[in-house]
């Protein structure tokens, strides 16, 4: 007999054999079945055996412990609590974390393993409740004689949660019973007893009217007049409707607390160890050890970048002995200060490493990728996002139908690039000029609007009033302009403008005019305001917040009416409905425009406007070519991503491009037609893919520097990292001369042991581009008559061995086929979508995003869908109040 | 050299030259008395940054070498040698940039456009003006001339507590003038009282809404809240300028001449550098220095930074360099280096520094930069800068002058970030002056000692770090 079955035997041996048989017949005994953990908010397992406190074991946020008001009314038994007479078991504070999470998700699961003392208790007698008295509640699971009953407050039910969902008669028995209530975001409520659905019902409305002040109660109402008597074995609440499968899983896992608790402890410890490794140890190793001990350098034959090789050790044998820092060579070297050679670690860093080894040296990722730790955790601070200039323009256009692009681009201070993109939230600061121009633009926008026609969308009345009609109008128009419902405070603030207009003898049109002007300058228009307060953990975003995230990621503009409708209906937290919306949105031309902004930012195409090559050296250069090159890349991207719908990595080797006749001549291709024309490059072996386009080839400057180009590929395409030049090296670029091409110079650098360690990581990446000069023209010989080459080898970050290539096109194929490149593109698109640099804590989710997108085809649309579906978009990291 | 000095007296008693529609703020004209108690000297802190630096061996020559232009102000400065900024090194990033961001913050950068902590001026501002500066004042003025926009940390030298830039960089004289002295031009007829009232009502509503997001019930986290609070400050300033004005002053000063040098993207054509003459460069620098100094004299600004950045970036300078009427050097970076593009730029002289050689070109560049820094400082030391205590603004303020490296060869981080030139003013008797001192300390300890001297409790750097006070710099 398993531990679990023996325990159930114990539970029941004091009862009749009939009951024992019944329990065995309804509880399948899969001792190892784990409980569902995702979106768990509170979890009680009644194993204290004494005292008046029941601890919240969820491990989520701040524990919501419960206090037994009258300990004499209860009796502790092994892994259960018997409530013998009327008492109250309640949280000492409002159930904030639970209430917030459920309100945000619009869905809930209440689960309990209980054994009623009798089938006569009524009220319903409160088993689990979040309420304040007999008529005010958020949710209550109760027993009413032989039935169970659940009352849920929504905007469609009363504050008492009526109408309730009621189980069939005789569902309540004096036996250990598994009861589950779920209500999903679309309003479907289900009731399960012992893993089987008993009833289902539509409970319409939203949970936005849940009170934030109610406490969590067991065994009674807050007022003490709805006692429930019986045994508590387990109580859990989730901020999500568990699926039928998941309910069956929890049923199979059983009421036993001990087993679950041990599993939970283990999994908690494992998760903690994983967290320590990924957020503290791996960054330390990446920043201090991998310069010499990665797969490529491997000094002393020790590769610390990979789990397998690190644990295997180097030429001195094992360097990490899990559990024993004192026997680990790694610790010995670090403690003594011999490693890292550039300077000892701080005491705190040493402590982290020692504790990690002593705690078992848990190594939870296969490869430590230094690029993951490029930004420290501060870079992931939650910054409110101000609309960028392009987002502002699109938001104005979508919201009020006015094209303000010319004035906005001319007047607003430019958004500067930070960490590769100009939508990086922390850098979107605001100056007096912004405030001045927002005000001026608001005036211009309203001047161009048909104010009365616009207002008629929100109100039939055209009378300037200061009463409820005006408030309703403000609320309705504000909901559209400010991308979500207004609260009373906001309605009052903005209605005040109408009052002022009225008091100065103005009319309805004038009032609307000033109202719109104010809203166009308000924080909720200029910024993407979201709730960022909570308990320090990640919380699900609200419906309208999610809608805005989706629309700004995909369109760079606000939600449209359909998306707002879906948000209002709570559909966006439903996976199928969400996917439907995403597919719809990706069909919109704005999605194409947004993606073009991405490529423009990623490759910094705007720099082409400033290209100013040495005229003596390039007498044939025509400034118009710079624009042609920019347009080439945009048109190429559009074709590969949107017309051919190919995986994003194909951008590196697609055999097609677009060029003006002028650019075609510059490239040495026979020109055709006028304007931007499509060229099939199958027969042009030297060209094909982003890296062979002028917009990218010009990054190396007039000299087509191998170092600059190589570093661009390393950082921009491969997300690689490289350290500073070693001491004593003259970093002045060496010019080509007869008999000495840039390739020779690069090879000399690589042959120099002082340079090789780093230069081998990036210069060969540019070897394949040597035949392109600093402006992207193709030559077989340089200006000194040196023969140019395009063969070389590429060392992917993290790889041990370089892969040779014979031609430029082979290099492009290697890049396009590389999982490293594919993942790098995922990182870039994700960073642009989120508007912030990515940090180590994001790495796991990005892996999931990448995998999901790859499985679906790896196209831009697949990737965007995976990003939006991920926790990086569905959740927001909160700050504790 | 066409230098357009704008004395404060001219601002106050303009001779009635053509006005340009940029009215003086009413409170500007009386601000010296309205913004501060009559007998009080306000607390001020500014960071002055110049590019690339002075190699440590050259600093040992004192006023006989490249520091010569600072000599006339020597009794009002404490020049500090042997200040170590090695802790600001961030792996994988050029140490120039680390040093530049570390100047005045003593922290390595945190991302491309963020510093690892606040700058001295902002910490002092926060401590001495916890409720904000007097009404209508520009809370922080960040100005400067620079080339190559690649990294913000190179040219902005005032940072908020969270490491974000404290104010938008004003990179053209006209923009800086507008930021400090400009009013907001409202469309329509400003004399229409009814319209003005309605506009104010709109602004009031907007202000109320912003206030909520900075208050106790704001749904925003601390970083976001600080951003919105910043926005609210700007709205209030906007409100002041747009609505609190009386008539335009008929004697308003001329708008500064339009900048003749390249700015923004065109100043950085793919990192290849730009050609510029000494006259173009110094005309621009002096105009910026004049305007910035004027802003301080008019008590429109008490905190911020001014950046003189050129040689450290991508310029090919040409022109005769004279000092005190004597020709010291002929700038011709590209010609003397026999190179074009980025290889012909002046920063190469720093890469080529060799203490066994003459380093003539480098010396000339460094000397010229010191001359320009001294020009700015002198503007705060002239008769227009006398304050109620009989001292000048230069003597009364905390002005920290620094740069990005102690050696231009970025191949040895330790050498590069050691011996970084620093000089400070006396801050109204708080710090020693009239000395060239070998402090032999970390920049963070120097800065924290300065903060202590300024009666500021907050410190820079990690909270747990033990401060090694550099008491020798305190008066």
For chain B, the domains span 8-182+251-473, 184-244
List the 139-158 stretch of A: residues with Cβ below 8 A of B. Answer: none
Residue B275 Cα, gap to closest chain A Cα (Å): 11
For residue A602, what pLDDT band results from cuts at 50, 70 and 90?
very high
Q: Biggest alpha carbon distance in chain B?
A: 74
> Any bridge partners for residue A129, and if so which?
A140, A217
What are the start-end ranges of the E strands in A5-88? 40-44, 53-54, 66-68, 74-77, 80-83
Q: Model pTM?
A: 0.74
In the three-class reduction of DSSP (H, G, I as helix; E, B as strand; rest coil), residue A676 is classed as coil
Residue B222 to residues A550, A747, B218, B436: CA-CA distances in angstroms? Answer: 24, 51, 10, 42
- Closest residue in B to A699 (Cα) is B270
Structure tokens that stand for A770 in this block: 């040597």
> Any bridge partners for residue A152, and if so which?
A139
Q: What value does the mean pLDDT take over residues B61-67?
A: 95
pLDDT at A462 over 70: yes
* Cβ–Cβ contact A732 with B under 8 A: yes
Structure tokens that stand for A428 in this block: 């979107």
Query: What does the angle CA B329 – CA B330 – CA B332 come to, to the nearest 5 degrees?
Result: 135
- What's the confidence (pLDDT) of residue B148? 61
Lowest mean pLDDT among A135-149, B225-239, B424-438: B225-239
Residue B278, Cα to own-chain centre: how many angstroms? 21
Query: What does the angle CA A559 – CA A561 – CA A567 come to, to the nearest 5 degrees?
Result: 70
User: Which one has a higher pLDDT value, B122 or B244?
Assistant: B122
Q: Tell me the pLDDT of chain A averaged across its residues.
A: 88
* Cβ–Cβ contact A619 with B under 8 A: no
Which candidate, A101, A131, A134, A129, places its Cα nearest to that of A207? Answer: A101
For residue B14, what pLDDT band results from cuts at 50, 70 and 90?
very low
pLDDT at A793 over 80: yes
- What's the confidence (pLDDT) of residue A30? 40
CB contact under 8 A, B343 and A732: yes
> Any bridge partners for residue A879, and if so which?
A533
Which candidate, A646, A662, A709, places its Cα nearest to that of A863? Answer: A646
Residue B374 Cα, gap to closest chain A Cα (Å): 29
pLDDT at B253 over 60: no
pLDDT at B7 over 80: no
CATH of A36-255, one of 3.30.420.40, 1.10.10.10, 2.70.70.10, 2.60.120.200: 2.60.120.200
Q: pLDDT tens, A728-763? A: 556 666 788 999 998 999 999 888 877 887 888 889
Which candidate, A714, A769, A711, A719, places its Cα nearest to that of A743? Answer: A769
Radius of gyration of chain B (CA): 22
User: Which one has a higher pLDDT value, A752 or A866?
Assistant: A866
Residues of A whose CB is below 8 A from B415: 727
Task: Give the single-character DSSP code of A740.
Answer: B
Q: What value does the mean pLDDT take over residues B425-452?
A: 96
The Cα–Cα gap between A140 and A143 comes to: 10
* Cβ–Cβ contact A468 with B under 8 A: no
Residues of B whose CB is below 8 A from A762: none
The Cα–Cα gap between A710 and A699 comes to: 10
Q: What value does the mean pLDDT take over residues A510-526?
A: 96
Q: What value does the mean pLDDT take over residues A674-702?
A: 94
Three-class SS string for A629-668?
A: HHHHHHHHHHHHHHHCCCCHHHHHCCCEEEECHHHHHHHC
Lowest mean pLDDT among A357-361, A369-373, B209-213: A369-373
- Closest residue in A to B151 (Cα) is A418
Q: Give domain B8-182+251-473's CATH architecture.
A: 3-Layer(aba) Sandwich (3.40)
Is the Cβ–Cβ distance between B263 and B101 less than 8 Å? Answer: no
pLDDT at A778 over 70: yes
- Closest residue in A to B350 (Cα) is A732
User: Which one has a higher pLDDT value, A539 or B432?
Assistant: B432
Structure tokens that stand for A250 in this block: 């929890």
The Cα–Cα gap between B104 and B158 comes to: 8
For chain A, the domains span 1-32, 36-255, 266-368, 385-528, 533-601, 602-819, 820-869
Q: Are strands A533-534 and A879-880 parallel, antiparallel or unpaired?
A: parallel
Tally of CB atoms within 10 A around A224? 14
Is the Cβ–Cβ distance between A740 and A786 less than 8 Å? Answer: yes
For residue B6, what pLDDT band results from cuts at 50, 70 and 90?
low
- Closest residue in B to A487 (Cα) is B209
Helix (H) or strand (E) holding B441: strand B435-442
Is the Cβ–Cβ distance between A52 and A83 less than 8 Å? Answer: no
pLDDT at A608 over 50: yes
For residue B285, what pLDDT band results from cuts at 50, 70 and 90?
very high
Q: What value does the mean pLDDT take over residues A375-399?
A: 86
Task: Give the single-character DSSP code of A585.
Answer: H
Residues of B whose CB is below 8 A from A702: 272, 340-341
Q: pLDDT tens, A308-332? A: 899 999 988 899 999 999 999 999 9
* Residue the block writes with tokens 């087993």: A259
Lowest mean pLDDT among A441-455, A500-514, A650-664: A500-514
pLDDT at A7 over 50: no
Residue B133 to residues A4, A696, B125, B127: CA-CA distances in angstroms? Answer: 69, 47, 8, 11
Lowest mean pLDDT among A70-79, A157-166, A582-591, B307-316: B307-316
Tally of CB atoms within 10 A around A168? 13
Residues of B whose CB is below 8 A from A287: 91
CB contact under 8 A, A533 and B213: no
Q: pLDDT tens, A118-151? A: 999 998 999 999 999 989 999 999 999 999 999 9
For B145, list phi and psi in degrees, rounded to 5.
Answer: -115, 135
The Cα–Cα gap between A225 and A125 comes to: 9
Which candidate, A565, A559, A705, places its Cα nearest to that of B343? Answer: A705
The Cα–Cα gap between A318 and A329 comes to: 7
Lowest mean pLDDT among A496-510, A655-669, B142-156, B397-411: B142-156
CB contact under 8 A, B205 and A496: yes
Q: What proportion of chain A, given as a percentage, has pLDDT over 70?
A: 93
């Amino acid at each position: 007999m398993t531990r679990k079955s023996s325990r159930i035997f114990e539970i029941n041996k004091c009862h009749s054999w009939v009951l024992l048989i019944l329990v065995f017949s309804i509880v399948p005994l899969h001792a190892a079945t784990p409980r569902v953990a995702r979106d768990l908010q509170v979890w009680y397992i009644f194993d204290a055996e004494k005292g008046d406190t029941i601890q919240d074991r969820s491990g989520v946020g701040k524990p919501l412990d419960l206090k037994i008001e009258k300990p004499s009314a209860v009796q502790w038994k092994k892994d259960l609590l018997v409530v013998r007479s009327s008492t109250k078991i309640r949280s000492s504070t409002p159930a904030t974390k639970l209430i917030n999470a459920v309100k945000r998700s619009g869905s809930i699961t209440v689960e309990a393993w209980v054994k009623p003392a009798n089938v006569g208790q009524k009220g319903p007698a409160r088993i689990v409740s979040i309420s304040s008295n007999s008529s005010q509640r958020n949710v209550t699971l109760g027993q009413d004689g032989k039935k169970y009953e659940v009352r849920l407050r929504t905007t469609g039910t009363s504050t008492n949660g009526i109408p309730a969902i009621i189980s069939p008669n005789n569902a309540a028995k004096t036996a250990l019973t598994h009861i589950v209530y779920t209500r999903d975001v679309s309003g479907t409520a289900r009731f399960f007893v012992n893993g089987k659905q008993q009833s289902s019902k539509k409970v319409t409305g939203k949970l936005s009217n849940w009170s934030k002040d109610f406490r969590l109660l067991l065994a009674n109402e807050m007022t003490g007049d709805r006692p429930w008597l019986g045994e508590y074995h387990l109580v859990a609440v989730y901020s999500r409707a568990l699926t039928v499968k998941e309910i069956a899983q929890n049923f199979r896992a059983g009421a036993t607390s001990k087993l679950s608790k041990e599993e939970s402890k283990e999994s908690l410890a494992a998760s903690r160890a994983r967290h320590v490794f990924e957020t503290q140890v791996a960054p330390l190793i990446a920043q201090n050890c991998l310069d010499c001990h990665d797969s490529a350098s491997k000094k002393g034959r020790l590769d610390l970048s990979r789990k397998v090789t690190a644990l295997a050790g180097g030429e001195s044998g094992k360097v990490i002995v899990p559990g024993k820092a004192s026997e680990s060579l790694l610790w010995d070297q670090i403690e003594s200060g011999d490693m890292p050679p550039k300077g000892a670690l701080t005491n705190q860093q040493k402590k982290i490493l020692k504790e990690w080894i002593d705690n078992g040296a848990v190594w939870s990722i296969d490869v430590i990728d230094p690029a993951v730790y490029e930004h420290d955790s501060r870079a992931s601070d939650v910054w409110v996002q101000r609309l960028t200039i392009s987002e502002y323009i699109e938001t104005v256009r979508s919201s009020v139908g006015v094209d303000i692009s010319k004035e906005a681009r001319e007047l607003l201070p430019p958004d500067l690039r930070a960490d590769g993109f100009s939508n990086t939230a922390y850098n979107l600061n605001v100056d007096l000029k912004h405030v001045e121009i927002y005000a001026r633009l608001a005036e211009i926008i309203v001047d161009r609007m048909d104010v009365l026609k616009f207002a008629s969308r929100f109100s039939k009345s055209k009378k300037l009033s200061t009463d409820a009609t005006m408030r309703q109008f403000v609320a309705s128009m504000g909901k559209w302009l400010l991308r979500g419902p207004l609260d009373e405070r906001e309605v009052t603030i903005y209605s005040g403008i109408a009052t002022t207009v009225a008091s100065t003898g103005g009319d309805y049109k004038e009032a609307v005019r000033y109202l719109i002007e104010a809203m166009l300058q308000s924080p909720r228009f200029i910024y993407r305001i979201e709730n960022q307060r909570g308990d320090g953990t990640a919380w699900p975003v609200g419906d309208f917040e999610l809608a805005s995230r989706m629309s700004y990621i995909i369109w760079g503009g606000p939600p449209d009416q359909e998306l707002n409708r879906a948000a209002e209906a709570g559909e966006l937290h439903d996976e199928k409905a969400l996917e439907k919306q995403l597919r719809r949105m990706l069909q919109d031309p704005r999605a194409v425009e947004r993606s073009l902004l991405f490529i423009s930012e990623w490759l910094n195409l705007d720099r082409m406007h400033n290209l100013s090559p040495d005229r003596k050296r390039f007498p044939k250069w025509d400034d118009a070519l710079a624009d042609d090159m920019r347009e080439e890349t945009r048109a190429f991207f559009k074709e590969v991503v949107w017309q051919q719908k190919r995986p994003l990595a194909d951008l590196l080797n697609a055999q097609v491009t677009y060029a003006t006749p002028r650019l075609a001549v510059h490239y040495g291709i026979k020109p055709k037609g006028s304007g931007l024309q499509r060229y099939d490059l199958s027969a042009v072996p030297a060209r094909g893919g982003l890296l062979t386009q002028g917009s990218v080839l010009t990054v190396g400057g007039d000299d087509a520097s191998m170092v600059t180009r190589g570093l661009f590929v390393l950082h921009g395409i491969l997300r690689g990292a490289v350290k500073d030049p070693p001491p004593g090296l003259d970093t002045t670029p060496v010019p080509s001369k007869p008999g000495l091409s840039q390739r020779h110079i690069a090879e000399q650098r690589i042959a120099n042991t002082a340079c090789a360690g780093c230069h081998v990581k990036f210069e060969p990446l540019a070897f394949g581009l040597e035949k392109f000069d600093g402006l992207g023209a193709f030559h077989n010989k340089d200006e000194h008559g040196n023969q140019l080459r395009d063969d070389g080898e590429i060392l992917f970050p993290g790889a041990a061995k370089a892969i040779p290539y014979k031609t430029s096109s082979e290099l492009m194929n290697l890049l396009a086929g590389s999982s490293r490149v594919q993942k790098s593109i995922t990182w870039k698109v994700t960073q642009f979508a989120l508007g912030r640099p990515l940090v180590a804590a994001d790495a796991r989710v990005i892996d999931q995003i990448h995998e999901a997108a790859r499985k679906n085809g790896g196209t831009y649309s697949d990737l965007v869908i995976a990003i939006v579906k991920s926790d990086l978009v569905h959740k927001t990291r909160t700050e504790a109040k | 050299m066409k230098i357009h000095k704008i004395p404060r007296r001219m601002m106050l008693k303009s001779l009635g030259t053509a006005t340009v529609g940029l009215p003086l703020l009413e409170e500007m004209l009386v601000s010296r008395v309205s913004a501060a108690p009559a007998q009080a000297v306000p607390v001020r802190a500014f960071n002055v940054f110049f590019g690339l630096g002075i190699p440590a061996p050259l600093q040992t020559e004192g006023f006989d070498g490249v520091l010569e232009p600072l000599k006339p102000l020597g009794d009002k400065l404490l020049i500090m040698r042997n200040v170590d900024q090695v802790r600001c090194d961030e792996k994988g990033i050029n140490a120039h940039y680390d040093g530049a961001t570390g100047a005045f913050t003593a922290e390595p950068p945190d991302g491309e456009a963020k510093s690892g902590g606040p700058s001295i001026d902002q910490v002092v501002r926060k401590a001495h003006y916890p409720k904000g500066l007097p009404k209508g004042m520009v809370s922080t003025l960040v100005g400067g001339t620079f080339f190559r926009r690649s990294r913000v940390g190179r040219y902005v030298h005032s940072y908020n507590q969270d490491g974000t830039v404290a104010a938008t960089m004003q990179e053209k004289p006209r923009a800086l003038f507008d930021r400090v002295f400009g009013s907001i031009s409202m469309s329509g007829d400003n004399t229409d009282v009814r319209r003005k009232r309605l506009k104010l009502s709109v602004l009031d509503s907007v202000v109320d809404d912003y206030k909520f997001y900075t208050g106790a019930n704001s749904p925003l986290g601390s970083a976001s809240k600080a951003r919105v609070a910043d926005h609210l400050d700007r709205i209030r300033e906007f409100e002041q300028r747009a609505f609190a004005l009386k008539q335009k002053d008929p004697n308003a000063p001329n708008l500064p001449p339009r900048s003749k040098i390249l700015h923004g993207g065109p100043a950085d054509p793919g990192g290849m550098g730009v050609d510029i003459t000494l006259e173009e460069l110094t005309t621009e620098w002096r105009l910026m220095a004049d305007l910035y100094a004027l802003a301080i004299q008019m008590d429109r600004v008490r905190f911020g930074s001014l950046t003189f950045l050129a040689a450290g970036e991508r310029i090919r300078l040409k022109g005769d360099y004279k000092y005190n009427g004597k020709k010291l050097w002929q700038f011709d970076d590209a010609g003397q280096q026999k190179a074009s593009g980025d290889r012909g730029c002046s920063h190469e002289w720093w890469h080529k520094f060799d203490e066994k050689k003459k380093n003539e070109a480098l010396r000339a560049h460094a000397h010229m930069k010191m001359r320009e820094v001294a020009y700015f400082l002198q503007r705060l030391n002239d008769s227009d800068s006398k304050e109620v205590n009989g001292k000048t603004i230069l003597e009364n303020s905390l002005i920290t002058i620094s740069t990005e490296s102690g050696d231009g060869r970025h191949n040895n981080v330790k050498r590069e970030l050691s011996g970084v030139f620093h000089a400070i003013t006396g801050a109204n008797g708080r710090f020693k002056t009239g000395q060239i001192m070998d402090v032999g300390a970390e920049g963070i300890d120097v800065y924290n000692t300065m903060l202590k001297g300024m009666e500021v409790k907050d410190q820079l750097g990690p909270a747990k770090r033990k401060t090694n006070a550099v008491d020798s710099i305190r008066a």
